Amino acid sequence: MMERMKQWLGISRESSPTRSPPASPASHRPVSHVSRPANTSPSKTRSIDQSERKKAEMATSSSLPAPVQRRSRSKSPSKHGRQKQTSSGNRTLGLIKTSDDETFLPREHQNPQVQESDGNFFESFTALAWRQENKRLRLASEDEKEAEKPPPSENKFGAKPKHHQLSRKEFELLYIEVLYTIKHKIGTTTSCHSPFIQDLYQYAQEAFGVRPEDHARLLAKATEEKPPIVILNMTVIEAKGLLAKDADGFSDPYCMLGIQPGQSSEGDSTALFSSDEESGTKTKEKERRGLRKFSTSLRKKKDKELVKDLVPAKYIQTTAVIPNTLNPVWNEKFRFDLDCVHTDRFHLDIWDHDEEFSVIDAAKRLNEVSGLKGLGRFFKQIAQSARTKNDSSIDDFLGCVDIGLDNIPSVGLDQWYQLQGRSSKSNIQGEIHLKLKLATREDRGIPEDDNWTDVKQHEDLMCIFIEHEVRKFNDPSFKWSGDLPQAALTILHQHAIQGDVTEVQQAVCRWMAHSRQHAKYPLCYNLLLAHLTHLDKVWKPATLSRDEEESLAESFNLFIEYCLTLLSRLRETFPPSNRMAFSRLEGMFRCLAKIYSMRVFKKCCPFQKELHSEITSVIKRGNLDWYERLYSSCRSQTKREEDSLQSLIELTNHLNADIYRGNEYYNSIFESLVSVNYFSLTYRQLEKMLATDISKGLEEELGEEVSQDISVILKKMDCDRELDSSGPPPPTMGTTLFELYLALQEFARYSNNFQQGDIRSLAISQYYQWFGFAVSKWLCIARHKALRRIRKAVELDKVAQVDSVVKYSTSAVDVCCCFAQITEFWKQLSWPDLVGAYQFVHRLVEDISNGSQLYADLVHEKLTAAGYYDEEGQFDITEQLCITINNIEQVRRSLCVLPESLEFNAIQRALEANNGDGVEPLDAQSLRKKLCQADSAMIRKITQVVDRVADKMRPDIKKDVFHLNWAPDSLPADDAVGDLLEYLDSNLLTLNNNLLKTNFDRILESIWVEVLEEFKDVLDNEEVRPPIFYQRMFDALGLLVDFFHAKGKGLNMEDILSQQFQELRDLLTFHKMDTMSLIETFYIQMAEIQKQQESTEFGILNFRAVYRYDSHTLYVEVLSAKDLIPLDANGLSDPFVLVQLCPDHVFPNITVQSTQVIKKTLHPLFEESFEFAISPGECQHKGATLLFTIMDHDLVFQNDFAGEVYLAMEDVPGVSGEEVTGYDALSIISLPLIQPKHKAYGALQILARRTWDKEAQEFVKKRSKVEEQAV
């Protein structure tokens, strides 16, 4: 039997949503009968192991926890079940949220016909959020497809700046200039340039697109031009490590430098200009001739005569004197015209100046002398002329440098040169840093430092080369790296050095040419940024002429205008979904930011607005234009007037997508690169325009309803009148308004990126106020639809099954899903105004609560119609019975999530913070109250069904309990209770197989109450039996505790150990005691009552008591009493005290002792001592008590009872064996007098029922006399 018990209790489970239901039989098929199983007899052997017996004893022991208030039911059933007060009904708050039953039904068990009956009304609204999400997913998918596509053409949207176009004549002149530059190429070729003139001619012809005949004609013109003059640009930078010539360990160095002319070939007018190939033979001739030095003045006379009349004075120049240093820094520039670059040489001497006389002036005077013989002597004459009259003061020689000019590369030389001596005996040290670079000049009648024409030509030439290379490039122009071929670089380089175009001017030309071509062929912004960075690096103040600065300023402005024009069409030009376009936007911002940070830009454009302001203005204009185009496009797609709301939805969705992209992509680069908060700027501008158009559109479409008060709408829709299935059909409502609401909700959520104060200033933040009427209307319609759907669900009900045992029907799934969809739709609305949401939530809670109660009533009515409460015929536990209470329980659980889903706590806090404006804060409690009422109503309905089962089982339970009581005394408890356990087992197994655990626990609890009541009924109404029979009932009760608890799988121990159980257990405990034990228990109870007594209405007794363990003597001193009750006619009493030890069978030889009578007082003073010779064993006996009885002495009539005091002997000092000293110092014991009261049960009541026991009757008679005398 115990294994059987474990079987049905072990398989109890909740419905699981993870398994599909198998085919189920008809709902009216009987599952089992409530009847006694066959072949059972009281003598059947039933085995219970020792651990089970021990648990039963422990469950019935006095150490069990305090009882829980449980239900008690009447035993007179009515036709439709009894209304009973249950513990479950008292715990409505706990039922709002279950802890052990969180199972919800799978939606696939819905009945499609129920949803189709109202056109999938609720499903269409909850699907709106999914549709909104799908739009976002489609947008993301489209963006992903656009990611790798080529970027949109910038030429389509960018401004078309008007640059100067070369005329035919200007074009030919530029081409002639290029040919002239190539023909007169100077300097040796480096690795990055092309050494072949023919390659240069060919590339120039291709880049300019010149026909061969035109090329020949123009080349002839270039050849006819006068060759340019070659010049040497020389910079003396610094020297280091010079020899100290002065006494202080330093020198005062200065430099004398000049050009030493060479012997040119006779009749060669072009000797100064030649290519690398042409200079080959001349170089060999030069090598054979050897180099001449400045030190020739020290050689033999015949060597001096070789250079006679070859050196004009104008070739000599000097630097400043740098005093007191061995590491002078000059940074002085010089320029020398050259006769022949292949034969001329550069020479420099460093001298230590010894006098404060201008070396430069001396050199100038000697420069006027003609016919000097030898450059070395010429240098010497300059030095000598700078001396003072003291001939001993002579400038000292520090070293010299001699450099051939024919090997200077076209890019120039910038290096350190070791100083040389005049001879091998010279003591020379140190080195000097020089820069040498070749250039040309032409005699054009303009100042040599004015090369504006060359600069313009250089820019035009770059533009032509860039355009030529871009056109040859097969891929899009923005992928071009910007690298020009060697031939182009060589031509540009030669043009720069021949036109003396400085590095800064070249950087300016490079930027202007690339930015100009960028407007025609969009280039890579990183390339433009590199040119800007280089220009910013090389530019220094006063390095550009006014014309150059104006031209550069125009270039900057045209580029900025071009970029701002692109920004005005930002979304079309740089879509963030296109990776390449977005990368170009970033590059453009870097270029703009670089321009505005450049020193040369601030110099050239001092009155330019800040970049932040420029971009802000452009973005605003662009947003306005884009919004107007978008609005017109959405309106144009509307074919009918009633589709205007749809156009607003499309408009809002487009704005949502745009705001998302702005926040996700644009804003970061706008903020980081140009310090513009694109998201804030765009959102604020768009939300104003959108709010205006939405408000206007809704007013045009819906009229006054938009601004109508919600309460008026609710009243108009007659929401307060409940409609049944026979009423008029509910109104209809489309989803368009809520599609617009959800789209605006998404738009408004982006405002969370602002500060709270900024959000309140946004017009769109109050978007929900436009839809109050729509929500009110929807609530009314949803209420009608829900009531009709509930009735339809019950009408079309079908059996469903989660797993192989637990069953329910489709109506529960349909109703739960209906409630869930209503709640889900409200959650999707996410009404921002919690105070305003109260009336909506209140309506929702009220409608769902009423709907759940309606469902419980409908399925209960269906069960009643099936004959569940019929008294005639056999009572069957049917599948419909189990499904009915399972369904009600599932719908009840669907209410558990409402406080969290509908944000009860948040609404409560909002109402309290609102200071009672509109709705009193306490009204929010009505939400929970309404749910509690619905929860209680459904629990009562379930209990009504469950109690019917227990009521039908009660007759058999009663019979089994009766047999348990009257079974032979030799039959053990486990056998005597066997029939009851077998009966319970057979019926509960069927119920467990079909019920949710919660419902099964309810039936268990109901049956447990029936069992307890039947036990109590036997004890109260059956003839009292000897204690051995009650011991067996006590043990049987313990077995039933284990049976119903089932090691935690059945009822909770809290539910089992109810107040009803505790009282029954105590009663059985008394019944199984013998008479003497009962008497002892009586005194224990009275001592406990004495301890709990707080009232002093009957007076107080003061006394001392101590037990001397060594002499086995109890000393008692009765001191006094006060506030006794008056028992005489004069309003006083004549009190005395009886002192006795109880019970009598424990102290058989101890006589009762008495104090003297104190006349006419209510506050007697006794002060009498008594001694009792008793053993420690007697003192420590169970129930041993010291009893004080206060009586009123009466001479004529019987003495009156005034009260009594009980003191357990275990509380007397010294009884436990401890040493007690100072008897007089012992504290006084003051206890209130008590009057005995009759109890319906207890030890005395059990003794009274033992009519066959003489000792029991005598004790009862004695105590009854005392009770009769009690006040």
* 82 pLDDT more than 50: no
Q: What is the DSSP letter of 502?
A: -
3-state secondary structure at position 766: helix
For residue 80, what pLDDT is reported? 37
Q: How far apart are CA 953 and CA 944, in angstroms?
A: 15
For residue 1120, what pLDDT is reported? 94
Q: Is the peptide bond before 1143 cis (omega within 30 degrees of 0)?
A: yes
Q: How far apart are CA 319 and CA 328, in angstroms?
A: 11
Res. 1027 pLDDT band, cuts 50 70 90: confident
For residue 385, what pLDDT is reported? 47
For residue 1138, what pLDDT is reported? 94
* Residue 166 identity: L
> Which residues are CB-neighbours of 1070 under 8 A, at least 6 positions away?
1078, 1081, 1241, 1242, 1243, 1245, 1246
For residue 874, what pLDDT is reported? 61
- Which of 131-135, 603-607, 863-867, 931-935 comes out lowest in average pLDDT? 131-135
* Residue 224 identity: E
> Which residues are CB-neighbours of 234 under 8 A, at least 6 positions away?
257, 333, 334, 335, 336, 346, 434, 435, 436
Res. 424 pLDDT band, cuts 50 70 90: confident
Helix ranges restricted to H, 598-643: 599-604, 611-636
For residue 92, what pLDDT is reported? 26
Q: Are 911 and 919 in contact (CB under 8 A)?
A: yes
Q: What is the mean pLDDT of residues 1010-1026?
A: 86
* 639 pLDDT more than 90: no
Q: How far apart are CA 71 and CA 1065, in angstroms?
A: 16
Q: How far apart are CA 557 and CA 516, in angstroms?
A: 11
* 66 pLDDT more than 70: no
Q: What is the pLDDT of residues 170-184, one digit of tens each?
A: 999 999 999 999 888
Given the DSSP bridges, would you call strands 1135-1142 and 1185-1192 parallel, antiparallel or unpaired? antiparallel
DSSP string, 229-256: EEEEEEEEEEEESPPP-STTS-B-EEEE
Give me the residues paired with residue 439 across strands.
Answer: 231
* Residue 1031 identity: Q
* 158 pLDDT more than 80: no
For residue 849, what pLDDT is reported? 93
How high does pLDDT run on average in the chain? Answer: 79
For residue 565, what pLDDT is reported? 93
Q: Are 271 and 264 in contact (CB under 8 A)?
A: yes
For residue 1244, what pLDDT is reported? 84
Q: What is the mean pLDDT of residues 252-264?
A: 83
Res. 1223 pLDDT band, cuts 50 70 90: low
Q: What is the pLDDT of residues 1029-1075, one digit of tens each?
A: 888 889 989 999 998 888 888 888 988 999 999 988 988 888 888 88
- Which of 128-132, 568-572, 597-601 comes out lowest in average pLDDT? 128-132
Stated pTM of the model = 0.67
For residue 1207, what pLDDT is reported? 94
In the block, tokens 């870097």 appear at: 590
Q: Which of 116-120, 163-167, 190-194, 747-751 has the highest mean pLDDT?
A: 747-751
* 524 pLDDT more than 90: yes
Position with higher pLDDT, 187 vs 294: 187
Give me the residues paired with residue 1059 across strands.
Answer: none
Position with higher pLDDT, 628 vs 797: 628
Res. 1196 pLDDT band, cuts 50 70 90: confident
Q: What is the mean pLDDT of residues 558-581?
A: 92
Q: What are phi and psi of 807, to 5 degrees?
A: -125, 155
Give the CA-trace dihedral at 150, 154, 157, 161, to 10 degrees: -170
Phi-psi region of 1116 (alpha: psi -120 to 50; beta: other; left: phi over 0): beta
Edge-first strand listing for the sheet containing 345-352: 316-318, 253-260, 345-352, 396-404
Q: What is the pLDDT of residues 703-724, one digit of tens each?
A: 776 776 666 665 665 544 444 4
Position with higher pLDDT, 22 vs 1211: 1211
Q: Are 900 and 826 in contact (CB under 8 A)?
A: no
For residue 590, what pLDDT is reported? 95
Q: How far apart are CA 524 and CA 578, in angstroms?
A: 16
* Residue 411 identity: V
For residue 256, what pLDDT is reported? 92
* 617 pLDDT more than 90: yes
CA 207, 213, 215: angle at the middle one, nearest 5? 40
For residue 295, what pLDDT is reported? 34
Tokens representing residue 527 in the block: 């390339």
* 105 pLDDT more than 60: no
* 921 pLDDT more than 80: no
